[in-house]
Each structure stands twice: as C-alpha cells, then as structure tokens.
Amino acid sequence: MDATGILQILLYVAIILALTPLAGGYMARLFEGKVSFLAWIERPIYRLCGTSADREQHWTGYALSLLAFNLVGALVLYGLQRLQVWLPLNPAAMAAVPADLAFNTAISFTTNTNWQAYGGETTMSNLTQMAGLSVQNFVSAATGIVVAVALIRGFARHSARTVGNFTVDLTRAILYLLLPVCIIGAVVLVWLGVPQNLGPTVEATTLEGSKQIIAQGPVASQMMIKHLGTNGGGFFNANAAHPYENPSAVVNLIHMVAIFVLGAGLTNTFGRMIGDTRQGWAILAAMGLLFLAGVGIIWWADAAGNPALTALGVDQSLSPWQAGGNMEGKEVRFGVALSALFATITTAASCGAVIAMHDSLMPLAGMVPLVNIMLGEVIVGGVGAGLYGMLVFVILTVFIAGLMVGRTPEYVGKKIEAREVKLAVIAILVFPVGILGLGAIALLAGASAIQDGGPHGLTELLYAYASATGNNGSAFAGFGANTLLHNTLLGIAMLLGRFVVIVPTLAIAGAVAAKKTVPHSSGTFPTHGWLFVALLVTVVLVVGGLTFFPVLALGPVVEHLSLASGALF
C-alpha cells in the first residue's frame, strides 16, 4: 500500500462528494417537473401512451405499470436473441442464442443485473447488443431511479394518495438524464481510445507473423451506459478489464465516477425533496464508511501477494518498477490499488463490471465484493436501488431504535408503523432466500459447474447466487453457469432480488405518502447525526453479517487459513 494508491482513492472520493449535490440537485428539479427543455419530445410520447405529465398514479398503479413494462422488455430481448441469426446487423454471423441462455440473459438485463453466462464477442450480434442489451441498460437503470423517486415522494408528501406517474418518470429519467450524459461521455471515451464502429472483426498479422482476429463493435456507447446505469454487462467477455473497454487509468476514472455519481446524487435528491439535505448526507456518510472499509481490506489482502507464488521465487513486492501484489487476473495499467478500488465500487453499487477477475482475488479480498453484495448493495448501490435499499434498512434502524426507548419510531416526520416494518422485512429477507436458499439447491443439484476445488469452490457458487439475487452481475467467472439448471435458478434469483424488493418498496412509498407529517419534538430521534449513522451501519452489518457469517467462514475464511498454511486444492 503506497501513497499514490491512497491519493487515487482520495481523489475518487473527493470527485464523488463534489458531484453529489450537483447530480442530486438536478435530479430533484427533474422529478419535481421543473426541467422541461425537451417537452416537445415528451408530449407526443405521453399522448401515444394515453397519459399526461400531470396524471399521477396510486402506488399499485405505479407498480403494475412498472411490471408490465419490464415484462414487455424481457420478452422483446428474449425474441431478439432467439432470432438474431435472421435479423440484420450480424456481421460476425452469430447463431441464435439457446433458449435457457436467452431466458437467463433477458431477465439479467431487464433486472439491471447483467449477469453474463456468455461471452459477448462470441455470442451476441451487433443488433442484439444495440437494440436489445443497450436498451435494457437504459430502461432498467431508469426503472431503479423511478422506484427511488417514488419512495422519496412518499416521504416528502403528506396525506397524499399518489406517488407519481411511471411512464412520465421513466421517460424523463432517460431523456433528461441518462441519454445526454451518455452521448457526451461516450464521445469522450472514443477520444480516449475506446472503439465505436459497426465493422466486422479486424484481421492483423502480428510481428511474429501469426494471425490475430480482433473483435470490434460499438463499444464506447455501451461502456458509458453500462457504468452510469450500474448495469455492468460488458461488450467483451473480459468486461472492463478488456483494453478496448478500458484502455487507460483516465478512462477507468470516468468509468468509476459514472458508477457512483447517480447513486450518490440520489441521497442528495432525497434530502432536497424532503426539505432537509442533512438526512441525505447522513445516509451517504453511512455508505461511505462501509465503502472505505471495503477498499482497505481488498487492497491490504491483495497487496500482500500470494504466499504460494512467493515460495516459487516470484517477486510480488511493491517497488518503483512494479506495483506488485497478486497480479493473477489483473492488468498492469491498473495494478492492485485501482483493482481494489474498482472491485469495491462495482459491488457496492450493483454494477458488476470488473477490471480484475474476482475469482482470482486473494481469499479475504474476494470476500469483500461478496459481502458488499450480501449486504444488499446499499453502499451507494445501483442507481435508485441503492437508495431504496438503504431506506429499507433505515426503516429497520429507526424501528430498532424505537424499541430501545419504547417510542413509536419516526423517520423524517413520518411515523413508522407495523405495515412499513413488515414490508421492509420482506425486502430484506429476499437476500437470504435467494442466496442461501437457491444456492443450497444449486449446490445439491449442480455442483459440477464449480471450477476450483476446496473451500474456493463453495465461494464460487455462493458468489454466483449472491450476484444474481443482488442484481450485481459480476462473477467468480470460473463458475460454469451456462447450464440449464443454473441459467434457470439464477434467472429466478434475479427476478426475486429485483421485483420482490421493488414491489414492497413501492408499497412503503404508498403507505408513507398517505401519512400525515408529525411535528418534530424533543423526543424525536435525530436521524442526521453520527449516532444515527453508526446505528445504521451496525444494523446493516449485523443483519448481513449474522445471516451470512457461517457460510463465509466455510468459504473464503477457510481458504485464507489453509493457503497461509500452504495447502492447495
């Protein structure tokens, strides 16, 4: 661990902190309907949809619209994959995608997971990448944002029946936020070296005279939205480790900022819309503490290098001539420090892009991404999903605080009662059900997909089910997930982790919107101070930690201890 590494991490944190109020302020104005320079595009869309900007929905209507839209989106994506061989824009002549893989991928991209059981450059046609996967990159991100916005409105309003209009919110999120940022960002990425073409592969004759086929495509446009929308699905199999997706540390910085900027910004949007920005900063502070702890652990564990390689006479020490550390599955231009930072960001948010192979991280380093996902990806989190996930934990926290002092819990002026707490618990229970429940079935029925022996094998499978349930999409990629069983089970896990969280969240939004605001009194527990931040962090860790500690002990912890004693598998 060196000063340049620490400086790079601090620079990143500073950029996010500086952008939070800007992005947050813009989104607050956007979803309060105060931004309208594209109204001429909006109006015909709403007319075709049979709605208008001022017609609002009850939470049930909002949820039904959301589910219908996601269903249609998944069906379109499934169809595109199955039919791509007969459709245009298929220069590399990709075959039709098999049914189970197409099912898994359709769910994966609609749920903002972007779990990829396939290699992009060997499976998908340009049309599928553009009109299928890229579209879901936008709309699944927008879906997350609008759920968070509906929940924020719930807390901001009082005695209200409605939480907004799904069609309007989704359209505005894309038109005014995602598309403009992506167009500018993608052009900058091309300038910095990311390819953007519709050509076929390029055939090169290397210096030594052999042939090298180099895959090409519209990479930059997909890169920008895959990070801004915390999607994470790579154009290439190696994802953001591929030098075309991520040619330099400057591009890498843009990617990392894009992953966090909207999630962090939404905490500020929340603060602004409820009229107390301190509440937003308190949530971001809790996220920040967990984030820095994660970066530190991965970096520390990976910088030490692999003791089994040191024994062979491999130099893994940090020096002016090399970054050192565990370089298996890493790129020289990023080294261990940036790889640790990126691995934390991508799993704290539900992004899932990678610049280092998580499967090859040192055991304790690989445990951090896994834990980040198991905690529900509430550390900044996926766009929208992070904020509403954290607010679910906030409800649990004020409930526990309320129990301790024997008072009806309140949060930002709303009484938190039995209904809200029950709904919050449903959302939280999805994680153990998806990860441990479906994971257990998979272990019994499909253990042959595991690549590595010993405790690491358990971690591989566990990571797959955590990643799917958490809608993350990163993988311990040695796990051979492209089988009928895992494509199906992981598809179910992704659906659970997405919609069984979203529907209760919208129900909470409806419930708190209908409540009156209770005036602040001397007995109100302040939710903007460090005491609350500490309590929130504790609840997140205890709920996540106690649920998953036993299985973590059997996986990464045992692997760490056995590796230290020289055992290999």
Partner 1 sequence: MLKELRPALVLIVVMTALTGIAYPLAVTGIAQLAFPWQANGSLIERDGHVIGSSLIGQRFADPAYFQGRPSAAGEGYDAANSGGTNLAPSSRKLVDEAGARVAAQRQANPEETGAVPADLVTASASGLDPHISPATAAYQAKRVAAIRHATVEDVRRLVAEHTEGREFGLLGEPRINVLKLNLALDERWPLKR
Alpha carbon of 248 to those of 70, 191, 212, 225, 545: distances in Å?
35, 12, 22, 18, 36
Span near partner 1 by CB under 8 A; candidates 212-220, 261-269, 411-419, 523-531? 212-220
Indicate which single residue of 24, 232, 271, 325 sits in contact with partner 1 (rule: CB under 8 A): 325
Span near partner 1 by CB under 8 A; candidates 96-104, 165-173, 404-412, 433-441? 165-173
Q: Is 483 in the site for partner 1 (CB under 8 A)?
A: no
Between 13 and 131, name the residue whose CB sits nearer to partner 1: 131
Two tokens, residue 432: 């153990």
> H/E/C letters for each residue in 204-233?
EECCCCCEEEECCCCHHHHHHHHHHCCCCC
Two tokens, residue 104: 């898994």
Rounded to the nearest angstrom, the gap between the alpha carbon of residue 129 and the centroid of all alpha carbons in its chain is 19
Span near partner 1 by CB under 8 A; candidates 279-287, 326-334, 390-398, 435-443? 326-334
Span near partner 1 by CB under 8 A; candidates 19-27, 305-313, 388-396, 489-497? 305-313
The DSSP letter of residue 118 is: S
Query: Under rule CB under 8 A, how many of the chain's residues touch partner 1?
Result: 136
> H/E/C letters for each residue in 9-70?
HHHHHHHHHHHHHHHHHHHHHHHCCCCCCCHHHHHHHHHHHCCCCCCCECHHHHHHHHHHHH
- Minimum distance of partner 1 from residue 536's CB (angstroms): 33
- Minimum distance of partner 1 from residue 67's CB (angstroms): 8
Looking at residues 94 to 133 of the shown chain, list those that interact with partner 1 (rule: CB under 8 A): 119, 121-122, 130-132
Q: 81: closest CA among 10, 15, 131, 152?
A: 131
Lay out the site mask for partner 1 across 355-384 (x = CB under 8 A, - = otherwise). Answer: xxx-xxxxx---------------------
Alpha carbon of 24 to those of 148, 178, 268: distances in Å?
13, 14, 5
Looking at residues 499 to 558 of the shown chain, list those that interact with partner 1 (rule: CB under 8 A): none
Looking at residues 236 to 265 of the shown chain, list those that interact with partner 1 (rule: CB under 8 A): 236-238, 241-244, 247-250, 252-253
**Residue that the structure tokens 């055939």 belong to:** 203
Between 132 and 233, name the residue whose CB sits nearer to partner 1: 132
Indicate which single residue of 68, 95, 445, 447 sits in contact with partner 1 (rule: CB under 8 A): 68
Two tokens, residue 425: 């618990």
Distance CA(209)–CA(204), nearest Å, equals: 9
Indicate which single residue of 15, 83, 135, 492 sits in contact with partner 1 (rule: CB under 8 A): 135
For 114: left if phi > 0, alpha if psi spans -120 to 50, otherwise beta; the answer is left
Q: Is 232 in the site for partner 1 (CB under 8 A)?
A: no
Alpha carbon of 216 to those of 77, 128, 198, 248, 549: distances in Å?
22, 15, 8, 18, 43
Between 430 and 507, name the residue whose CB sits nearer to partner 1: 507
Indicate which single residue of 18, 34, 88, 312 sits in contact with partner 1 (rule: CB under 8 A): 312
**Residue that the structure tokens 């049309």 belong to:** 127
Q: Is 413 in the site for partner 1 (CB under 8 A)?
A: no
* Residue 512 phi, psi dihedral angles, 5° rounding: -75, -30
Indicate which single residue of 1, 13, 19, 76 sits in contact with partner 1 (rule: CB under 8 A): 76
Indicate which single residue of 14, 17, 55, 315 sits in contact with partner 1 (rule: CB under 8 A): 315
Indicate which single residue of 4, 36, 52, 524 sits in contact with partner 1 (rule: CB under 8 A): 4
Looking at residues 170 to 189 of the shown chain, list those that interact with partner 1 (rule: CB under 8 A): 170-171, 174-175, 178-179, 182-183, 186-187
- Minimum distance of partner 1 from residue 15's CB (angstroms): 12
